[in-house]
Structure 1
Amino acid sequence: MVHELTSPLTTHLVNTLRDSQSDALRFRQIVKTLAVLLAEAALGEEALQEKFLLTWQGERSFKLFDESELLFVTVLRAGLPMLEAMADLFPKAQAGFLAIKRDEKTHESKLYYDRVPDCTGKHLI
């Protein structure tokens, strides 16, 4: 499923990425922010599960994502800040990596690195 973000905030952030005056640090910060917005859209249909947590008031039930069911796959280089943002939000989730290079003659994309764990039973993002 494809999730398209169309909010004014997303438009602002994407257009800021296009600014050739943005330095590498600013670029990574914006990509991480966009990743959080994308995660909200992508996980919108994912069911939260009841989990018991020990709080200062004792054990209580809360709704949380089952991080073990999440699998984030990134395309290497520009996608790494996105994966970093997801790892910050979901430290127990798995990660996978793809590397794709464009053939300069045919302009076709070629997959040359694929390290994605088994996706069975996972919510793949």
Structure 2
Amino acid sequence: MSGNVTVVDHPLVQHKLTLMRQKETPSALFRQLLREITLLLTYEITRDMPLTTAHIETMLEPMEAPVLAGPNPAVISILRAGNGMLDGALEVLPQARVGFVGLYRDEETLKPVKYYFKVPNRLDERLVIMVDPMLATGNSSVAAVDMLKEAGARQIRFLCLLAAPEGVDTMYKAHPDVEIVTASIDRQLNDKGYILPGLGDAGDRIFGTL
């Protein structure tokens, strides 16, 4: 397996992920845990955001203090499951612009089908963070990156909860410049394109459509 991947092995992330994996975890708790893990992963994926300085007044004296530089980042949700990660990301990046890419997977071909695309302007100037709980076959993620690059994005990072080795390889071959931050790289895909051991269909578990 190759790829530009960071696995966040923080104990809190791993503990919360274990709770999410359990089949008896209800949707309400699953959503809460996903938001909490996303918040923690967002810290990692924004670690090297550029800073500049601003002149401020503290309670005691003036100073030159660090502030984020450049246009606000863009958080792009890959529908529908990516919406379960938006709240966590926006808690860390409340100033972010938000976009949506609608893709569904053809269950016979496992290929992505586009049905919606709405993103912020000036993507070429923004850090673009795609969010989707699963990087499975990688086909949908590659298609989403294709569309974002066509819209002008130049600095794209992908935040996911779980990744499969096959998906990481697919993403790296298509877009080696995209950094992936995840909580786990699981063992493999099954013959239906689901991650093993995984946690099931993230969208169904988020929205209670099992």
Q: Deviations over 1:72-103 (max 9, x none)?
A: 11112322232112223322211111122111
Q: Secondary structure at the match of 2:125?
A: coil
Amino acid at match of 2:74: L
Unaligned runs of 5+ in 1: none
User: Structure 1 71/3 Cα, relative in aligned 2: closer, same or farther at 3 Å?
Assistant: farther
Q: Paired residue for 1:50?
A: 53
Distance across 1 between alignment mates of 2:96 and 2:112: 28
Q: Alignment partner for residue 24 of structure 1, among 8, 23, 27?
A: 27
TM-score (norm 2): 0.52
User: Structure 1 65/32 Cα, relative in aligned 2: closer, same or farther at 3 Å?
Assistant: farther
Q: Paired residue for 1:94?
A: 97
Q: Deviations over 1:44-89 (max 9, x none)?
A: 1212221234544465432232473311111123222321122233
TM-score (norm 1): 0.81
**How many residue pairs end up in the alignment?**
125
User: Structure 1 3/86 Cα, relative in aligned 2: closer, same or farther at 3 Å?
Assistant: same
Q: Paired residue for 1:77?
A: 80
Is 1:111 the equivalent of 2:151?
no
% same residue: 25
- Whether the 8 Å contact between 2:38 and 2:88 is mirrored in structure 1 is yes
Q: Paired residue for 1:36?
A: 39
- Whether the 8 Å contact between 2:71 and 2:125 is mirrored in structure 1 is no
Q: Paired residue for 2:65?
A: 62
User: Structure 1 49/108 Cα, relative in aligned 2: closer, same or farther at 3 Å?
Assistant: same
